[in-house]
Structure 1
Amino acid sequence: MNSIGMRPVHPGEILNEEFLEPLGISAVGLASWLNEPVGVITGLVMQNTGISPDLAKKLSIHLKTTPGFWSNLQSTYDLSQAEAERSCDSGH
């Protein structure tokens, strides 16, 4: 949770819930569509990896979003994680 009580949302969760599920596309199918290794996309959907600028560009083209949409999701998540770690380290 962050300082306003919301848990950080991983971009892989958004990808899965807002795009893959409604479109009926699997992570494997998306990987093929994007010409990306399956492990990159499954890692993202499983929230084990993040979105690189190149992947943000590919997702934006194929899912009709913008690279900034994906980059902002990733940076917001990363900042939330860093804040949580800092709070734990400082004892708050």
Structure 2
Amino acid sequence: MENTMRPIHPGEVLLEEFMDPMGLSASTLAGVLHLEPGYLTGIVRQERSISPATAQQLASYFDTTPEFWLNLQTTYDTRRALLKGRRALKRTLH
């Protein structure tokens, strides 16, 4: 069975499930985690990936695990690659 759900970027989860409910801005969270504000903003805007080091920092702050964040990133990357491959295959077949 084909999964037709859109890939969900970990930055979307970070923003909607963690930052917004706590009233945290990207710049505030970046300061607390000692990250460059632009780096965290890039994650929230779904323009950057979550690295293992950032996953550890997010896990410590939000009382989750690094694996939680890395699994979100891996799932997102995998889904995007699969969708890209399917689109390329459809173009080839048509």
TM-score bracket for the superposition, by shorter chain length: over 0.9
2:20 corresponds to: 21
Q: 4+ residue stretches of structure 1 with deviation over 6 A? A: none
For structure 1, list consecutive stretches of 5 or more residues without a partner in the other structure: none
SS at 1:91 equivalent:
helix
**Partner Cα distance (1:91, 1:5) in 2:** 15
How much has 1:28 moved relative to structure 2? 0.4
| TM-score normalised by structure 1 residue count | 0.95
One-letter amino acid of the structure 2 residue matched with residue 64 of structure 1 = D
How much has 1:5 moved relative to structure 2? 1.8
One-letter amino acid of the structure 1 residue matched with residue 74 of structure 2 = S
For structure 2, list consecutive stretches of 5 or more residues without a partner in the other structure: none
How much has 1:71 moved relative to structure 2? 0.2
Question: Aligned residues: percent identity?
Answer: 44
**Residues 37-92 of structure 1, C-alpha deviations (whole Å, 9 max, x = no match):** 01110000000001000000000001110000000000000000000110111117
| TM-score normalised by structure 2 residue count | 0.93
Number of residue pairs matched by the alignment: 90
One-letter amino acid of the structure 1 residue matched with residue 85 of structure 2 = R
The alignment yields a C-alpha RMSD, in angstroms, of: 0.9
1:48 corresponds to: 47
1:30 corresponds to: 29
2:59 corresponds to: 60
**Partner Cα distance (1:79, 1:4) in 2:** 12
